Structure formats: structure tokens, C-alpha cells
Chains A and B, each alone.
Chain A
Amino acid sequence: MSNRLIIFILAVALLVISIYGQTPAPRAANIPRMADGKPNLTGLWQALGTAYWDIRDHSAQPGPYYQLGATGAIPAGQGIVDGGEIPYRPEASAKQKENFKNRLTLDPEVKCYMPGVPRGTYMPFPFQIIQSQRDIAVAYEYATANRVINMGKPKEAAVDTWMGTSNGHWEGDTLVVDVTGLNGQSWFDRSGNFMSENVHIIERYTLADADHLNYEATIDDKTVFTRPWKISLPLYRRKEKNAQLNEFKCVEFAEELIYGHLRKK
């Protein structure tokens, strides 16, 4: 065999390998699917861990009220930020520290405000996904917040809102959600990590198996961060026989805090 022929055969072999190598990963077999073959994300999901306190690595520490003793303390946790650091601009980093210092008055969660995206995903509450043949709804237990992911022709955000405008599409078995029109008043956690109204978030939901939903969100906000960054965490299907989305209408738990100084003496 001539060298030329060997090279030709090798080239063809490489081409074949590279083509096969590029085909998408085989479809996961053990996940629930809709009639049209799309993964069915319907279910009650919840994050574990303590990202709701701080999405970055953090040690155990006392909570803001010593009266609560150990029940009010903050558990240690591994962060969910890829690479560990949030790439704040210097002035934004200062604002985060200021937010943390004043978190009891500034944190929107303290006041029972809607959580925004992505915070609602990893709060210590479950959320319910209901997937229709077209659009996909997410109902969060916290504050009865909810959003509908439009799976049709993408819609521009009509106005800025707490929960944003969500346009989704499927990339293989991954639900990709483009979130715009966020009002920038939401935080990421109870540690003052924040965004602006210029934020653009792309979420990715991928079923790892029937009971684990991998979640990723890429955060792009040039006003606050020097580059886009990413969080990722698994979500767990709530498996208790009687698990269901309960009601947490927290306004009345926050009224004394918000309006107490205006109560008639």
C-alpha cells in the first residue's frame, strides 16, 4: 500500500470519527418525556445546600439575631458560582458589602418581595414546574411568585418586572431559557449579591435522570460585572408521597417590619 493511500484512509477515518464525535450525546433513556419526545420537567423541585444564604463559598457563622440561637445561625456551604468568584466591578463590590451590612432593611426577601431569577430556584422552598404541550410554567412556593416560559415565537419584554420575561427553546434535551426585562431589584442571596436592570440571564435545565434536574444560569450584566459568569447546581425532585406546593404568602410576616413604625401608638 502506498503511503498516499494510507494517508487517505487515515483522513477518511478521522473525518468519520470527527462526524460521529459531533453528534449530540445519546438521549437519556431514563427520564420522563412528553408525547412529542421532549423531556417532561413537570414536578416539584427543590435545591439543597445553602446557596440561599450566599451563592459563594462560606463558613458557618452567627445569624443577625442572637435570640434565635443555633436555629438562626448560618450553615457553611460550597458555593454554586463556577470558578468561585463573582467578577464584580470595584464599585459594585463595595455596594455588595454595603448591601450585606444593611441586609435586614435592604434584602427584598426580608420584605417578602418576589425573588426574581435565578434566586427563586435555590431558596429553601420547592417550586412546581408544569409543562404543557407548548409553554412551561414555574410556580414558586415563596411569595406565590410565578412565571410562564414562552416556548413560541420569542417575545420582547413589554416592561421591566420582578420575574422578567422568559423565552425558552429546546437544545436537544436541555431547556434553554432567555430571561430579559428583569427590574434589577432582586438579589442573588441573603448576602447582598446583586444585579442591575441591565442583567441578561440564560438558564439551562437538563434532566440528569428522572429525579435530578441540573440547573445552570449564565449572568451577563456589564453594569455590575466585568464578564459573564455562571452558577450551576442540581435540583432534586421532592419524593415524599404527599409532597405538594404549599402556600407561603409572606406579606403578613413582613408587615410589622415594613409598616410597624406607622402603627397608631
Chain B
Amino acid sequence: MSVRFLMLIAALTMILTAANALEAQKTAWGDPDLQGTWTSDDCINTPMQRPANAGEKLYLTEEELAQREAAIARQTENDKQEFVAANARPNVNPPGHWGERARRPCRQTSLVVDPPNGRIPDLTPEAQTRIIPRGAGNNNAQPASWEDFSFYIRCITRGVAGSILPVIYGNGTQIMQGPGYVLLLQEMVHEARVIPLDGRPHAGANVRSYMGDSRGHWEGTTLVIETTNFLAGKTGIGLNGGGTPTSDALKLTERFTRINANTINYELTIDDPKTYTRPWKVGFPITQEPGYQNFEYACHEGNNAMFNSLSGARTAEKIADTK
């Protein structure tokens, strides 16, 4: 047998194996298979907006990447030591290693990928007047009521964007698929987004919700989800649903594209002409990691922080009154 013939057989085998791998990523009913638990952890430290002096540079240089990689390695070593040492010095705050960490550096310089400068577009004049709850960061010293806190701190929701943007923990999105449906399960505030794929029209315009009304379809192997029917003036397009609350005109388009066995490219287009002067996009990879899974997040059921914040504020007022 000639070497050439052997090489041909080897090449054919490789092609067939690759084709099989692609075939394996289909469900029994023929949809692309995106199932698994995916986390946005790798982009935890990537800023939402790019520093102005970085211009249109979306990706880090090889040198910058190497620095990030070294920083992650140092952090891992530090976490290992903290894990042992933490019990030795009790603190009111949980140790840093309780949070989730990037496993590899995110290549991007910002989560905003469009406009090309990586900055959130200007707000409309009306949107600039919208009120953001003062205690959005859970740091309101004297809340008059629970309404001074964000919808996240109140354990209501973080919105569609806030439920997948990387934060300190709970960055998992479990994707499950059944015939005609995709389900997205998100740990923090236990979101469950049921996405019909049968092309049915959106719910009537008067059925509005925090997480909106989602419809999905496939473009090649990309899952595209369009969501409308949002409540006005609730969460924003920021970490944990922070930022300027969006309007009732908000339309979100999400694209989930699997680029290899353990990575999906996630891209979210924000189109809200009552809030932003132009549509914009955030995007980042989400990855499957060994052992990573969602747990039950009984946020409201265990929201002692809300009770303590409010009762603390009332007690402080009482003390001030008696002085």
C-alpha cells in the first residue's frame, strides 16, 4: 500500500470522525444540541464598557493575555491558602474564594462588543431622568423601605441580561431541550425561561413581565431567542440587572452559537429606542466546566439581609430620636 493511500484513509477517517462529532451534537428530533450547564465565569473581571483610551481594540494582545493568565494562577494559589486560613480569622464577609473565578482569561477588553468603541450608547433625554433604586448595590445605609433596593436585592429578578452577565457567583445557565422547546435555568433567583420554538406569535401586548416573552428559532446551528413584552422601568442591562431601567419598547435578541464541545458564544442585542439612542450588543463566551452545576437559590426565602437592613435603619432612627 502506498503512503499516499494510507494518508488518504487517515484523512477520510478524520473527516468521518468530525462529521460524527457534529452529528452527535444533535437531539433525537434533529435540533442542534446545546444542552449542558454553561457559565460566564471566564469574563468575571472583564469590564462592561471598554476604557476610552483602548479605542476600538476588542481583544487583548498575547502579552496582556499572558499577564491575565499569570494573575489567574496567582489567584488560584491564593484561594488555596485562603481556604485553609479562612477559619482562623472570622470576618463578617465571606472569604473571596467563596465566589466563582475565571478559569482562563477572557480575551475581550469589554463585554460591550458593539458599538465598536465598546461603550454603551447615549441614553435618550427621557431615559436620563429615570430613577435607579438607591440601594442597587445593597449599600443603602438608611432605606425607607424595600423599594429603595434593586430588584436583585429584593430577590425578584435580575432580568434577562443580568441573569447571564458574569458576576461574583451564580453564573450558570443550564440549557435543556425537549421537542419544540428550549429551557434556560439560571441559578441566582432561580429563573426558568421556557422558549417555544414552534413559531407561535408573541403574547398580547398587555401581557408584560420582568423576563419578557421569548420565542426561539434556529439559524443553522445558532439558537436565536427574541424577547419582547417587558415591563417598563424595572431592571437595566447591567450586572445583576443594574443600570438605567429599560422601557416597554425593549426588544432583546440573543444568539447562542456553539463553537466547540465546551464553548458557546453568547451575543445579546439590545434594541430599546426609548432608552438608548442606538441598538448595541454585549457578547462573551460561556463554557462547560467539569463539576460545575446549578444549585437551588432560595433567595427570597432566606432574605434575612432585607429584614436586617430595614430593621437596622429603623433602630438607628429610634436611637437618633432619643438623643
A-side interface residues toward B, CB under 8 Å? 34-36, 40, 42, 108, 112-114, 128-133, 135, 137, 139, 144-146, 148, 158-159, 161-163, 185, 242, 244-247, 249, 251-252, 255, 258-259, 262-264
Contact = CB atoms under 8 A, between A and B. Distances in A.
Interface in B179-219: 179-181, 183, 185, 189-192, 194, 196, 200-201, 203, 207, 209-211
Given A139-B183, A252-B156, 18 more contacts: A35-B28, A35-B29, A40-B179, A42-B179, A113-B300, A130-B181, A135-B176, A137-B176, A139-B194, A144-B189, A144-B191, A148-B174, A161-B295, A185-B301, A242-B203, A251-B156, A262-B307, A262-B311
Contacts of A108: 301
Interface of A is mostly: loop
Interface string B102-140: 000000000000000000000000000000000000000
Contacts of A40: 178-179
Do most interface residues of chain B lie in helix, strand or loop, or is the interface mixed? loop
Interface residues of B, number: 45
B296 A130 contact: no
Contacts of A161: 295-296, 298
B144 interface: yes
B75 interface: no
A263 to B, nearest CB: 5
B157 interface: yes
Interface string B289-322: 0000001101011000011001101100100000
B146 interface: yes
Contacts of A130: 176-178, 181, 183, 194
Contacts of A251: 154-156, 300
B296 A163 contact: yes
Interface in B48-88: none
Contact of B210 (A131, A245, A247): A247
